[in-house]
């Protein structure tokens, strides 16, 4: 009986040891499985981020490749007339195909110019905003493609154009500020001869905004954009 009891005790002890070893191995296996799952999840997340980054870079590259290229030509409209004819030619790239919209905007001589005008008892903010600080503006109410420049002559919208086509615009000298007591000669000298433009382009939801400067001191003159 003693021997039998001893054998039973030994078997029970061995079983307990085996259970402990098994539990430890099982716990290690579970930990390894959890670690592997976490690593797999992290790898998937890194892969997704990398894919998004690659797609974004590809989109930026494609957007840059499709940046519209223009030739802007300015010349006298008619002898004895101060107005100028400005032709905007969409030179490429061929892959662009066309522009769905093109808005040409005349910029002031420097950003925030209107915010700098503070005259006690002087012009209203609307009058200041309407003033174009530059030698030329668009002729109000006139424009290409059945469109027309706004009342200030600052902005002319269009319906766009195919690559290889052009649109004509009419520029007319800007008037000096209504609140200015200086002469027109003073105003002309102050504004100089550089016409500053912004070409705002759209195609299939993509947008480009391209600056352009044309010095009309001698004409005809052609500027490449960009």
Give pLDDT tens digits for 42-83.
777 777 676 677 767 888 999 999 999 999 999 998 888 899
The pLDDT value given to residue 121: 63
d(CA 184, CA 22): 99
**Comparison of pLDDT for 170 and 119, the residue scoring more:** 170
Q: Residue 13: which pLDDT band, with cuts at 50, 70 and 90?
A: low
Strand order in the sheet with 194-203: 155-158, 101-106, 194-203, 206-215
- The arithmetic mean of pLDDT across residues 72-99, rounded, is 94
- The arithmetic mean of pLDDT across residues 213-224, rounded, is 95
Residue 7 in this model has a pLDDT that exceeds 60: no
- The arithmetic mean of pLDDT across residues 30-44, rounded, is 75
Q: Residue 14: which pLDDT band, with cuts at 50, 70 and 90?
A: low
167 bridge partner residues = 88
d(CA 149, CA 155): 6
- The arithmetic mean of pLDDT across residues 137-142, rounded, is 97
**Comparison of pLDDT for 31 and 37, the residue scoring more:** 31
d(CA 17, CA 19): 5
The pLDDT value given to residue 157: 97
The pLDDT value given to residue 35: 75
Strand order in the sheet with 166-173: 136-138, 166-173, 84-92, 69-76, 221-225
Q: What is the CA radius of gyration of the chain?
A: 36
Neighbours of 155 (CB within 10 A): 17
């Amino acid at each position: 009986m003693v021997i039998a009891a001893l054998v039973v005790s030994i078997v029970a002890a061995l079983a307990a040891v085996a259970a402990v070893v098994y539990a430890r191995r099982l716990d290690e296996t579970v930990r390894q499985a959890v670690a592997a799952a976490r690593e797999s999840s992290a790898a998937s997340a890194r892969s997704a981020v990398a894919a998004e980054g690659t797609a974004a870079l590809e989109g930026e590259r494609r957007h840059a490749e499709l940046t519209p290229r223009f030739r802007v030509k300015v010349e006298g409209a008619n002898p004895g007339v101060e107005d100028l004819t400005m032709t905007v030619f969409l030179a490429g790239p061929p892959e662009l195909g066309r522009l769905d919209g093109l808005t040409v905007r005349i910029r002031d001589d420097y950003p925030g110019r209107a915010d700098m005008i503070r005259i006690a008892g002087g012009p209203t903010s609307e009058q200041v905003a309407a003033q174009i600080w530059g030698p030329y503006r668009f002729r109000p109410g006139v424009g290409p493609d059945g469109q027309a420049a706004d009342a200030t002559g600052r902005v002319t919208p269009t319906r766009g154009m195919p690559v290889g086509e052009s649109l004509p615009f009419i520029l007319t000298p800007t008037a000096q500020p209504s609140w200015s007591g200086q002469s027109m000669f003073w105003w002309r000298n102050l504004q100089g001869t550089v016409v500053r433009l912004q070409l705002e382009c759209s195609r299939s939801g993509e947008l480009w905004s391209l600056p352009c400067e044309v010095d009309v001191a001698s004409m005809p003159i052609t500027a490449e954009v960009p």
